[in-house]
Structure formats: C-alpha cells, structure tokens
Amino acid sequence: MLKTILSVIWMLSGVLMIISVLLHSPKGDGMGGLASSGGSMFTSARSAENTLNRISWTLLAIFMGLAVVLSAGWVN
C-alpha cells in the first residue's frame, strides 16, 4: 500500500517537474534565432522566475529521493 502511494507521488512529481521546467522563460534565442523572428514571445517577472526555480528544485528533490527509496527496496 505504501509503495503504491510513493510510486504515485513519484510519477506525479515527475510530471509536475516537466511542466514546471517547460514554464520557464527561454534564456536565449534557441531555434528561433535561426529564423530571426522578432523578440521573445514570453516575458516574466523576476519573482515569478524565482518561484518557478524553487518549485522545480523542490520537485527534483522529491523525485530523486523517491527514486532512491523505491529502487533500493526499502519499502515493501
């Protein structure tokens, strides 16, 4: 039962981590620089970026911690 709950939290944290990383504003031109298509499409405040960074790092810690616990077999 506990292993199932931890597995669900692990998968959910992985999905939320992907979403939070995709929400970050782009730091460079990337592939858009090749087309020379004007300015950046996304703008964000510095505090929003800091909040996303904290969320991403927290989700990463949860994901990695649960990955270790689940793969080590410490929970039955």
What pLDDT is attached to residue 35?
56
In sequence order, the 6+-apart residues with CB closer than 8 A to the CB of 32 are 26
What pLDDT is attached to residue 26?
79
pLDDT in tens, 23-73: 987 776 555 555 555 555 445 568 888 999 999 999 999 999 999 999 999
Spatial separation of the C-alpha atoms in residues 61 and 2, rounded to whole Å: 19
**Other Cβ atoms within 10 Å of 20 Cβ, number:** 19
Residue 46's nearest CA partner among 25, 62, 73 is 25
In sequence order, the 6+-apart residues with CB closer than 8 A to the CB of 10 are 62, 63, 66, 67, 70
